Structure 1
């Protein structure tokens, strides 16, 4: 039954695409709100409720963000709508080192071009889009004026946050040994993703790293983050040229990650040296 349903969804998608293709100027703009939760761990257990609220208030500009996705039939451009930190009146310069930069996707060529800035240096990350094996479901819900269908996927966690850094990721790069002294191959962490897409907007685009469904993704949840479309405009009065970022040192995702890791190793070692001195 699910197989028949999936085929019907795909058929509707291609019929919609043929309809949309009659308008060469087809374009859309989707506005997304992201909300993340943060586990304060053992450190947070020592804080009072008032202190926890202060920490969460300070972190609000990292945990709640707004983005704009501009798209046509094959291309999209995903950009953060930056806002000032309500507490300090400044942008979050430290967090910016580990957040997603302006992202261009071409679903026809499965191409990704993303601008990243790390410690004042600009990079232009060029790579293939992460392939996502979506499982289409029959469950539906309404988001705004659009009927959305549910889809699920399991994606390697590191692929979803390749532009980010965590000390845990660094620890996992040092192979553990078994009782015989052999290297233990680390388990690949997977993240379960739940997405809601609408065939009423027949494009394969979505926010952040997500794409490849038979309709625009209006909501997606992965790990501790939910991204929800708050406003959708089809064929706005003013069209925007969708172009890939052009500035920065060209690099692929793997080498960009290696660059970040090496920089953070230096940061850790230098900080440890100062403490010993």
Structure 2
């Protein structure tokens, strides 16, 4: 079981907002229900295990390694007991070919703090709102 966390993301919007404003979205992480399998394969020098996402309208298959102790992956997928090195989403595949790890001491990650706080729904409604302003 994984702890529920809050995720803060920052976006600078240029596509439909010509002001290039920064937005902050703070939201609870959704529970992703992974079914872990015993199937394994090698990606680069890592032994990976297969997991299938069961609470999605898409067919999602992930290959993760427990050798890298982070619970993240591409395209916003997370929650497995290791780093996702390959992700199949329907017919699309994201695969890491070269993995290079850096010391934690080299990076200082801080949640973003600058920007207008809005909800994800407000961000999705923003193009229509801006269109009606002009």
Kindly indicate whether the alpha-carbon contact (under 8 Å) linking 2:35 and 2:54 is maintained by their aligned counterparts in 1.
no
With normalisation by structure 2, the TM-score equals: 0.79
Which of 26, 39, 43 is equivalent to 1:143? 43
Q: 1:246 to 1:238 in 2, by over 3 A?
A: same
Indicate whether 1:243 and 2:110 are aligned: yes
Secondary structure of the residue that 1:234 maps to in structure 2?
coil
Stretches (4+) displaced over 6 A? none
The 2-side partners of 1:223 and 1:260 are apart by 28
Give 1:237 deviation, angstroms. 8.1
The 1-side partners of 2:128 and 2:87 are apart by 28
Give 1:231 deviation, angstroms. 2.8
Structure with greater proportional helix content: 1
Match of 2:30 in 1: 130
Q: 1:226 to 1:262 in 2, by over 3 A?
A: farther
Secondary structure of the residue that 2:110 maps to in structure 1?
coil
Which of 189, 199, 211 is equivalent to 2:66? 199
Match of 2:99 in 1: 232
The 1-side partners of 2:58 and 2:7 are apart by 21
Point out where structure 2 has 5 or more consecutive residues left out of the alignment: none
Q: Which has the larger radius of gyration?
A: 1
The 1-side partners of 2:124 and 2:104 are apart by 40
Kindly indicate whether the alpha-carbon contact (under 8 Å) linking 2:71 and 2:78 is maintained by their aligned counterparts in 1.
yes
Match of 1:114 in 2: 9
Point out where structure 1 has 5 or more consecutive residues left out of the alignment: 1-9, 11-106, 157-189, 271-277
Match of 2:84 in 1: 217
Q: For 1:81-111, what per-residue CA distance to the aligned partner results, in whole angstroms no more than 9, with x for missing partners?
A: xxxxxxxxxxxxxxxxxxxxxxxxxx75522
The 1-side partners of 2:117 and 2:91 are apart by 31
How does 1:56-95 map onto structure 2 within 5 Å?
none
Q: 1:135 to 1:237 in 2, by over 3 A?
A: closer
Give 1:121 deviation, angstroms. 2.0
The 2-side partners of 1:220 and 1:229 are apart by 9
Secondary structure of the residue that 1:255 maps to in structure 2?
helix
